Amino acid sequence: MPVIVASDTFGCGEARVKFSLDNVDAGTITSISWDFGNGTTSNQVDPDTVVYNAPGYYDVGVVINGDEAHAVTEESFIHVQLLSPADFIYKDTVTYDTYILEHTGPTDPSATYEYSWEIGDIGTRTGKRIQVKFPAPDTVYQVKLTVSDNFGCTDSKEVSIYVFSVLEVQNVFTPNGDNVNDFFEVSSHGSVPLAIRIFTRTGTLVYQGEGYTITWDGRTSWGLELSQGIYYFVLDALTDDPNQRFHKAGFIYLYR
């Protein structure tokens, strides 16, 4: 009985397999029909390399005609395991020097995974979702995630994470011209541009500005002096990388 031989029967994310036959004299074959289980077939005794690029198990069959007729099928012969890409997101928390890092790549429910994070000068952490406190603000840290499963499939990804300084935002200022606390000011110290919007308590937008340092004198964007009271600010750091954006909001007390 002919035997189907494969150059490999397992792949991570993809398998490229060369098939052949044992226990049969190729010179006696008058016709042959391969079915590789992935929608491709061949009528060659020595078929071209077959590519499996979707996770799953594949049956492989061959029908041989010649001096003798044979039909051989190997069930679940080729196994392609889902390769979980080491994609991850990172986002700051309210303290800004502490970040949440979380693997976001697809996973196979039937597999078990290990997650290894190599984080700059901090060392190695494990887990699908971790929280990391970075020791130095205004610093770029290299973070590498390696995802491995119980089938032996592994993927890695390395990302540079910029850790912002803590943004100190005052909540009281007195724009009365005495040169003491006359301005509401917030600065990223040159790290990233900021955007701010300031609203009345009823939700009317009265001021907006952008810059590495934003200074507000208690007037509207069109120059009108605002009355004493409580205002609401929304502050965002603007970068091209959505993972490096952060958001802060709160109340400002304007006294005259």
Which tens digits make up the pLDDT trace of 131-177? 998 888 778 899 999 999 999 999 999 998 877 666 678 889 999 98
How high is the mean pLDDT of the chain? 91
Architecture of domain 3-81: Sandwich (2.60)
Q: Quick one: average pLDDT of 232-249? A: 73
- Cα Rg, the chain, nearest whole Å: 31
C-alpha 90/C-alpha 159 separation (Å) is: 10
Fold match, 88-163 / 172-254: yes
Q: How many CB atoms lie within 10 A of CB 48?
A: 10
C-alpha 223/C-alpha 204 separation (Å) is: 15
- Where along the chain do its domains lie? 3-81, 88-163, 172-254
- Spatial contact of 231 and 252, defined as CB atoms under 8 Å apart: yes
Confidence grade of residue 248 (pLDDT, cut at 50, 70, 90) = confident
C-alpha 88/C-alpha 128 separation (Å) is: 9
Architecture of domain 88-163: Sandwich (2.60)
Architecture of domain 172-254: Sandwich (2.60)
Give the contacts of 193 (CB within 8 A, at least 6 positions apart): 210, 211, 212, 237, 238, 239
Which tens digits make up the pLDDT trace of 10-40? 999 999 999 999 999 988 999 999 999 999 9
pLDDT greater than 80 at residue 180: yes
